[in-house]
Amino acid sequence: MTRFVLRAVFLVFATTLATVSFMTSNWVPAVASLLCIFWSIGSLWRLYSGSEQKVTRLLDAVDNNDGSFRFSVHDADSTTVNASLNRIAEILSRARAEVVRQERYFEHILNVVNTGILVLNSDGHIERTNRRALCLLEMEACTHLRRIADVSPELASLLAEGMPGDRHQVQYHHGNVSRTLNVHISEVTIRDRNLRVVAIDDIDRELDAREIDSWSRLTRVLTHEIMNSLSPITSLSDSLLRDDPAALPANVRQGLETISVTAHSLSDFVVSYRRLAHPAVPEPSLFDVRPFLERMISLARNFAGGNTCDITIDLCESDLMLYADEGMIAQVMLNLLKNSVQAINGIPEGHIRVKAYATPADEVIIEICNNGPQIPPEIAGRIFLPFFTTKADGTGIGLSLSKQIMRASGGTLTLRPYTDTGTDTIFTITFS
């Protein structure tokens, strides 16, 4: 920059000298001044052209994401210019790096939210997704609506043609997964491009949570009122029997004993139901799935009265790990295996198959399958309700408590819908 100023000053001086020389008819100084003027103009043009080329090269480097591009600061003709351009390059590089950090930050936020997000352009290309969306769609990657249309034409049509601002519910079936999805569509314009932002939620899980909360509140009220009524009955009958049972008439003593036994049994029964209202808090830890399943199967064979029950592990990788409360998950597994053993009881070719695997969406799924009689549709929709049972000696809390445990563990317990006659009964435990 200093050289540019000096040459500009020299040009002004030469121009002034040439003007004076021509006016005084001093031709030698006039010619010399003209030569100096031409040289100064050429020199200034070269400096200008060089600076322009450097700016162009800098912009090209920025456009090509070349953050390492710099000009030499040892160039005597352009030291100040090069230093200034290098400073601009450094500022742009820092700005680009900050944009990248912000993108990673927002991408991390997008991936930890519990709502699936899809961003689509007008051509149907999916420009951005988060992990939850891929998990709900049971896909490892999704780049175009055609991928979704292959699985669920109804959902793909809704995403492409649904009106912004509306909320829709759609049944989504993919492989072994069946979900009711709540879909909310909105639109945004960025750089003259219309983008469609789709939020997807699994409404089944929310409905299950509300249903369980309602049953828990009801159970707390019922058990509290029943225990308040039972306590004086139990205390009074036990007190009368302890004082002087021989002094009581035989029929009175027998009646008090009956009242006492019945009250104690009813009290124990109510205590067992309290587990629905006050489920334990999980204490998760990392454990190997296959040894865990082998222990559960060994215990389940005792329900059949020996080791002859056909229970096998069809699929489970040796390195499959699970982060959960092993004791609580064991309670769920034993309850499902016990129900399966009872379902195949009396069937000559009865068998139980267990599968455990990880999905592309990093979910761990355990399936308990038996070839016993199918559960009728009118019963299948009620098996997870508290107090509902089809067994003469059942309490109706096994499956509902198991569902609560899975909810507390951040997972789900479902009965897979039957596809055709002869399909096995499959209970699916999913850990998100």
- Kindly report, residue by residue over 162-189, the tens digit of the pLDDT: 888 877 877 777 665 667 788 888 888 8
Mean per-residue pLDDT of the chain: 76
Q: Which residues pair with 202 in a beta bridge?
A: 181
Q: Is residue 62 scored above 70 in pLDDT?
A: no
The pLDDT, as a whole number, for residue 235 is: 77
Q: Position of tokens 């006050």?
A: 278
The pLDDT, as a whole number, for residue 423 is: 79
How sure is the predictor about 66, in pLDDT bands with cuts at 50, 70 and 90? low
Q: Position of tokens 């780049």?
A: 143
Q: Is residue 4 scored above 60 in pLDDT?
A: no
CATH code of the region 113-202: 3.30.450.20
pTM for the structure as a whole: 0.50
Using an 8 Å Cβ cutoff, are 344 and 372 in contact? yes
How sure is the predictor about 350, in pLDDT bands with cuts at 50, 70 and 90? confident
Mean of the pLDDT values across residues 398-426?
A: 80
The pLDDT, as a whole number, for residue 367 is: 92
How sure is the predictor about 204, in pLDDT bands with cuts at 50, 70 and 90? low
Calpha distance 35→420 (Å, rounded): 100
The pLDDT, as a whole number, for residue 75 is: 59
Q: Reduced to 3 states, what is the DSSP secondary structure of residue 52?
A: helix
Calpha distance 145→347 (Å, rounded): 46
Q: Is residue 285 scored above 80 in pLDDT?
A: yes
What amino acid is encoded at 45 in this protein? Answer: W
Stretch (H or E) spanning 186:
strand 177-190
Q: Is residue 58 scored above 70 in pLDDT?
A: no
Question: In CATH terms, is domain 285-431 a member of 3.30.565.10?
Answer: yes
Of the listed ranges 33-42, 255-264, 272-281, the one predicted with least confidence = 272-281
Q: Reduced to 3 states, what is the DSSP secondary structure of residue 411?
A: strand
Calpha distance 141→144 (Å, rounded): 10
The pLDDT, as a whole number, for residue 164 is: 82
The pLDDT, as a whole number, for residue 54 is: 66
Q: Which residues pair with 181 in a beta bridge?
A: 170, 202
The pLDDT, as a whole number, for residue 354 is: 92
Using an 8 Å Cβ cutoff, are 61 and 28 in contact? no
In the chain, the percentage of residues whose pLDDT exceeds 90 is 4
The pLDDT, as a whole number, for residue 103 is: 78
How sure is the predictor about 409, in pLDDT bands with cuts at 50, 70 and 90? confident
Q: 393 or 286: which carries more pLDDT confidence?
A: 286
Calpha distance 432→421 (Å, rounded): 31
Mean of the pLDDT values across residues 389-417?
A: 77
Q: What are phi and psi of 14, to 5 degrees?
A: -65, -40
Q: Reduced to 3 states, what is the DSSP secondary structure of residue 352?
A: strand
The pLDDT, as a whole number, for residue 65 is: 66
